[in-house]
Amino acid sequence: MANSPTKWRSGPIINHHSSIINSRAFTLIELLVVIAVIALLMAILIPALQRARKQARTVVCQSNLRQWAMTLAAYTQTYEGRLPSAYERYSALWMLRGTFIGDADPNADHAALYGFHTKGIALCPMATRPSVPGTRGTFRVSASGGVQIEGYAGWSTEAWQVLTPSPPFFGSYGYNHALFHGFRAGTISGDAGLWGSSPIPNVNVFSLREHTSIPVMLDATTPMSNWTMGVPSALTPRLNTGGGAGTALNPFATNRHGRETNGMFLDWSVRKVGLKELWALKWASDFDRANPWTKAGGVQPEDWPKWMRECKDY
């Protein structure tokens, strides 16, 4: 029949397989390959992101120290080279908080340079939370005027805190106490033994030499350097496991920033400081820079605790 509709149906209407209906599913091996590739990318990216994060925190830490440097530079310019020191060895502790107690600052007009807010620059981003009371070391000392200072030490990732006198405050930087009181290393706790028979009140920092080697403030687990840094036996870092525990310079020796730490010097510069370099800096006029923990003093690589052995020697 000429008009038969079957004439136009000489072949199948659908003459190919549906790619949707017959799509080939992932095999188990292919799925495992995809998972392995994702895991490999994460293994590469996550450490890189962590390094970038730590580097960013290091930059912020150094920025904080630069702000401290500008503040102290302005202070010494105003008071002709004098830091807040005199015979009150804890004056710089009040400086860290931003306000002094009573007559602790021998220089007049506290508000002139201490109206700034220190809260934003008191903490390294790597150690912003204070230690849990009782988990770290404690410190308890007596200042002038019967003021009792009590607090807890920090750790590489924890801030130190001062609980009394109130109001409580905490931070993760520490200052070179010798610079703020006579520039003497000292040998024992107590004015006579620590500062010698004639301490230098209100030391003029402009008269000191080697400003680039004199540390002022660094990352630390206590508010100040330990009074025993003039005692050779107290300089040992052997009990320091990376958290900054110990005597003398150990509060500055932490793994907070890896094999280096951040420090501000008397020329008001801020730079990275090698952990072993701490023992070779000019902490005081009578500090032995060729002590047994320096290359000049004959230290050997195996003398250092394991976590410090790969650090650069000085």
pLDDT, tens digit (0-9, with 9 covering 90-100), for 129-149:
998 887 888 877 766 666 678
In a domain, 16, yes or no: no
In a domain, 7, yes or no: no
pLDDT, tens digit, for every residue of 152-202? 999 999 999 988 877 788 899 999 988 877 788 765 444 433 434 344 556
Cβ-based neighbours of 290, under 8 Å, separated by 6 or more: 296, 297
pLDDT tier, 217 (very low <50, low <70, confident <90, very high otherwise): very high
Reply yes or no on whether the pLDDT at 79 is more than 70: yes
In a domain, 101, yes or no: yes
Reply yes or no on whether the pLDDT at 98 is more than 80: no
SS3 state at 277: helix
In a domain, 296, yes or no: yes
What single DSSP character describes residue 52?
A: H
Query: What's this model's pTM, rounded to 2 decimal places?
Result: 0.77
Tell me which residue has tokens 């793994």.
255
In a domain, 11, yes or no: no
pLDDT tier, 279 (very low <50, low <70, confident <90, very high otherwise): very high
Q: Give the whole-number percent of the chain exceeding pLDDT 90.
A: 40
In a domain, 5, yes or no: no
What is the rounded CA–CA span in Å between residue 260 and residue 278? 10
Reply yes or no on whether the pLDDT at 237 is more than 70: yes
211 and 267 Cβ atoms separated by less than 8 Å = yes
In a domain, 286, yes or no: yes
Quote the tokens at residue 67: 């702000």
**What residue numbers bound the domain in which 131 lies?**
28-308
What is the rounded CA–CA span in Å between residue 54 and residue 75? 32
pLDDT, tens digit, for every residue of 1-41? 445 554 545 555 555 555 455 555 668 787 888 888 888 88
Identify any residues that bridge with 219 across adjacent strands, giving them in sequence order.
Answer: 173
**What is the domain count for the chain?**
1
What is the rounded CA–CA span in Å between residue 110 and residue 113? 7
In a domain, 32, yes or no: yes
Sheet strands (E) in the chain? 138-142, 148-152, 160-164, 169-171, 173-175, 215-219, 260-265, 270-274
> What pLDDT is stored for residue 194 in this prediction?
41
Pairing of β 260-265 and β 138-142: unpaired
> What pLDDT is stored for residue 82 in this prediction?
84
SS3 state at 276: helix
pLDDT, tens digit, for every residue of 61-77? 999 999 999 988 988 88
